[in-house]
Structure 1
Amino acid sequence: MAVFTLREPTSFEQDIKKSRFLALAAPVDSASQALAFFQAKGVPEATHNCWAYKIGAEYRFNDDGEPGGTAGRPILQAIEGQDCDRVAVLVIRWFGGVKLGTGGLVRAYGGVAAQCLRLADKLELIPMATLRCRCSFADLALIQSRFESFGVQVQDEQFDAEGVRWVLNLPVQHKTDFQQSFINMTRGQGECEPVEQA
């Protein structure tokens, strides 16, 4: 299943029964980045600043004074429902005098967040693998010529007397084929091992 983050921050505004809802969404790489986004974009004068973020398996949400489960959780469900990850969504509400009830709040917060994410310019998150490879100077050009077809990105490159040492990133789906190809191109003389992710 494809998972997406946002290319850039986006917003969506809607009036629901005289209350104004403003959803702000942004790509984030860490919990501290998400919290900084909420801090920077929250409106102290607004009635509620409710939010949620999801980064891999890590997530948090906040109802900011709305009845429990009526704001933060529906925002999180909107993030998951739009197949998003590494995303923070803040929904700001200015109360307009008409109570929405718990079901109305869930629909309002979840709906505004989902619409904001629907309108956003998304970028597919491709799972990446990291390999540590070594080869001789004789094989260097041949191997480099294959990088593009496997989607390889060079993270680090060091030359020594024997040849080159690389730390390479590439899409997980190409990892096994690239390793096999690397061994074939170096006639078994090169090394290409996965780096264990912490």
Structure 2
Amino acid sequence: MAALRKWLFTGLLVIVPGVITAWVLNWIVGTLDQTLQILPVDWHPDKLLGFHIPGFGVLLTLAILLIVGAFASNFAGRKMVTWGDALVSRIPVVRSIYSSVKQVSDTLFSESGNAFRTAVLVQWPREGVWTVAFVTGTPNGEVAAYLRDEFVSVYVPTTPNPTSGYFVIVRKSDCIELEMSVDAALKYIVSMGVVAPPSLLTPDATDR
């Protein structure tokens, strides 16, 4: 029985990561393949080839992103984007949703933005208990007016699903900036601490 149990768990360790990875990739490719619906029916790869090949939607999505990015990077494109933003900002309800989403996307995807660029250690949910979090910016507006010290906004993800979590404002001095990358920190969180990234600290730093 001990041998059977060992073989069972070994089989799970070998198969589960591959199955889950294949499922996630299949879901992503299947979702992006829906982009093909914007093409005329006669232009669909399935129609032209006579059989289905998954992944054409991924290529089409990448092509659209590159074309839109190239257009929005020149003078005329920037003017069009500015005009479109001004038009949407005049539509009730829609402007509230659009402006919020745009602010978040500008912060996350802007090359000059600092959101989710740094992983830190913070005490959460109480003093003496530590967790990994991500810096999303600094408080501003009315919130900043009430804070008398230097604070940072951080996102504390839950595990094993980091897409949900908590937004908290903590003193910068209470955060310990980590050397690990954001990707490594996410792996650490998703694995519930099992997959720990290698230490990037020098021997002198670890002694302090």
Q: Please confirm whether the aligned pair reaches a TM-score higher than 0.5, indicating the same fold.
A: no
In proportion to residue count, which structure has more helix?
2
TM-score scaled by structure 2?
0.28
TM-score scaled by structure 1?
0.29
